[in-house]
Amino acid sequence: MHPVLRTVLQRLGLGIVTLLAVSVIIFSSLEMLPGGYAENVLGQSATPETVAAFKRDLGLDRPATVRYFEWIGKAVQGDFGSSYSGLSGSMKRDVSATIAPRLYNTFFLAAMAAVIAVPLSLLLGAMAALYRNSWFDRIVNSVTLTTIAMPEFFIAYILVYVFAVKLRLFYPNSTVSIGTPFVEHVYRAALPALTMTLVIIAHMMRMTRAAIINLLASPYIEMAQLKGVSKSDVIRHHALPNAWAPIATVIAFNLAYLVVGVVVVEVVFVYPGIGQLMVDAVSSRDMPVVQACALIFAATYILLNLLADIVSIVTNPRLLHPK
């Protein structure tokens, strides 16, 4: 078996094991929380007999291990069980159907931010490396350090104040629905997408700059410069392709943040994504929804990191050309 294929399969196996371990942590953590959905619905005046009967109707009286294996077995098939939040015990909502439109909204927002942030960060990082120690490099570094130091909600409130309150260019709340047209969806999601772009672009730009500067001191780069190759061609054809491994890793981490770390941004802008749904589910003690959202976050994070590992392996000449 080729070393690259063997290493990729090993990474995939480790990813599956990691996801199973995370699912155990998610289920166990929620099980150990005080109180529960039955107590939240019935109130403090409910008798122990009423609470026990309610739990029996929902299947919460069974051992935790039995419920875990039942939950993870169905989750593998895309069935996350039923949600009871805001409904009576006989009127159950499918968790997958509840999450699906919210997950689409979150991926839509993440895609908007990624389409802007990834090319822009690569361009700024390459230019900062090409003209390092210049005024352009200093300005870009200062701005990115400032955005890194600011929390997401602070950047979000500044953007709301400037673009929604003062300039009145966008809505302060990014509420959308299933029937929202594509162009209107893009317009309403502009401010949260801009917030996430400003947060992640700094990390990707600085990593791109550092990786390219490190490669510019390599002998083959000096040889290309001695041959008269222009600086832009040196960056584009020689330095950037060999810097993909660290750049891909930091891009994967930041793309994972676009999905996993979107909770704060969605809450600030009242954007109906999976992060907002998870916050609402925690407030109402709707554990099936919380478990499903947490598992989706974990799977997304692990998958993107696996993709980063695969890109790093494929772009490593020592693995592509084993001796």
**Mean pLDDT, range 288-310, rounded to an integer:** 86
pLDDT at 163: 92
Q: Spell out the SS3 assignment of 132-189.
A: CCCHHHHHHHHHHHHHHHCCHHHHHHHHHHHHHHHCCCCCCCCCCCCCCCHHHHHHHC
| Distant-in-sequence contacts of 58-64, Cβ < 8 A, 24+ apart | 58/84, 58/89, 60/36, 64/27, 64/28, 64/31
> 3-class SS at 307?
helix
Q: Is the pLDDT of residue 39 over 70?
A: no
pLDDT digits (tens, 9 = 90+) for 88-144: 444 567 888 888 899 999 999 999 999 998 889 888 888 888 888 888 888 988 888
pLDDT at 250: 80
User: Which stretch of 170-179, 192-201, 314-323 has the lowest confidence by average pLDDT?
Assistant: 314-323
pLDDT bracket for residue 36 (50, 70, 90) = low
- Alpha carbon distance 150, 26 (integer Å): 29
What pTM, to 2 d.p., does this model score?
0.81
Give 231 or 164, the one with higher predicted confidence. 164
pLDDT digits (tens, 9 = 90+) for 235-265: 777 777 777 777 777 888 788 888 877 888 8
Give 186 or 212, the one with higher predicted confidence. 186
- Alpha carbon distance 7, 108 (integer Å): 32
Instruction: Please tell me what DSSP assigns to residue 270.
Output: T
Give 43 or 219, the one with higher predicted confidence. 219
**Mean pLDDT, range 172-198, rounded to an integer:** 89
- Alpha carbon distance 173, 276 (integer Å): 13
Residue 203 contacts residue 250 (beta carbons within 8 Å):
yes
- Alpha carbon distance 28, 31 (integer Å): 5
- Residue 181 backbone dihedrals phi, psi, to 5 degrees: -60, 155
Q: Tell me which amino acid residue 105 is.
A: N
Per the listing, tokens 């980063």 go with: 308
Architecture of the domain made up of 103-273 = Orthogonal Bundle (1.10)
